[in-house]
Amino acid sequence: MELKQLLYFKTVAECNNMSRAAEKLHVSQPALSAAVKKLENELETCLFERRKNNISLNAAGKKALTCAESVLGAAEKMKDAFKQGRLTSLGFCDPGPMRFSVPLFQKAFPNINVTSEVFADESDVPDLLRSLKYDAVISLQNPQAPDIETVPFAFETLLLSVPKDHPWARRTSVCLHEESDFDIAVYCGSGAYIRRLRPLLDWLVSRHSAKIYDDYFVFKQLLEQKNILTLTTRLVKQYRSDGDGRIFIPLRDEGISEIYRLSYLTDRKKHVAPFLKWAMENASILLK
């Protein structure tokens, strides 16, 4: 006896007509009739009173319907129990997209338990996926492999953060390479995007009064005490505050923009479907 047989039987009982039941189930009428007949054979009893244009449950059929509804209901509860306990493991090459996207995804899918962490080496993306350490990986890489699917996930770029009373505050954009004699403080954590920005950061230190901080607490205190320029990113500014009254200005310097990509094993696509669905539905936020 299969759940499909019970579902077919229940649908026929509700429709009182084989043709309508077959249409509702999107199966052929012969296949539906065969499934119902097989169930009757297994129960060794007739379940319907059959007439020319319709069928209806007999006494045994009504008893069987009660049992079928109970079994089907229990099966749905079992599915829901495992769906609510489902675990999605995400690996990120940077903390920025992780801290931005995971809380929003968790809010949209509260029944999915999410684990996320930053990994160190982007070159390991294929191995990380094949080892099943992560269901999906968000990185700056575009792994070329027949067993891996990759889609654009989020656009990242640098922004200049200036106090509202700074002379640059009214500008629509800034190219740091075209400016001279400015002080700037930059907090640098770790990750792939920061590594891509290393030429710019080294240039700032060598040509301007730039200070690079790896301690966010010290950096935050500095911003609160001084009227100073700093850098943030498109994603980071969504969850990190550098203080009230600051203006964010796009930068025109080269080498500051990147696309994060979402990669997963093709045969695990169903498992990452909720996160993939969320990313596609929020592409207007993530990619623009």
CATH number at residue 23: 1.10.10.10
Domain boundary among 83, 103, 133: 83
Domain identity same for 34 and 47: yes
Domain identity same for 125 and 203: no
CA distance 130 to 128: 6
Model confidence at 85: pLDDT above 60: no
Burial bucket for residue 144 (CB in 10 Å: 0-12, 13-18, 19+): exposed
Q: What percent of the chain has pLDDT over 70?
A: 97
Average pLDDT, integer, range 281-285: 92
Domain boundary among 83, 117, 139: 83
Domain identity same for 121 and 177: no
Q: Look at the chain and report how many structural domains it folds into.
A: 3
Q: If DSSP states are collapsed to H, E and C, what string results for the chain? A: CCHHHHHHHHHHHHHCCHHHHHHHHCCCHHHHHHHHHHHHHHHCCCCEEECCCCEEECHHHHHHHHHHHHHHHHHHHHHHHHHHCCEEEEEECCHHHHHHHHHHHHHHCCCCEEEEEECCCHHHHHHHHHCCCCCEEEECCCCCCCCEEEEEEEEECEEEEEECCCCCCCCCCECHHHCCCCEEEEECCCCHHHHHCHHHHHHHHHHCEEEEECCHHHHHHHHHHCCCEEEEECCHHHCCCCCCCEEEEEECCCCCCEEEEEEEEHHHCCCCHHHHHHHHHCHHHHCC
Average pLDDT, integer, range 43-67: 88
Domain identity same for 270 and 135: yes
CB 261 within 8 Å of CB 154: no
Which of 58-62, 172-176, 269-273 ranks highest by mean pLDDT? 172-176
Domain identity same for 174 and 235: yes
Domain identity same for 145 and 272: yes
Indicate the pTM of the whole model.
Answer: 0.69
Residue 156 β-bridge partners: 258
CA distance 93 to 118: 5
Nearest to 174 by CA among 65, 260, 248: 248
pLDDT in tens, 240-277: 888 888 899 999 999 999 999 999 999 888 889 999 99
Q: Which domain holds residue 34?
A: 3-83
Residue 213 β-bridge partners: 187
pLDDT at 171: 95
Domain boundary among 63, 83, 103: 83
CATH number at residue 230: 3.40.190.10
Domain identity same for 61 and 30: yes
Nearest to 179 by CA among 167, 197, 188, 187: 167
Show the tokens assigned to 97: 């997209």
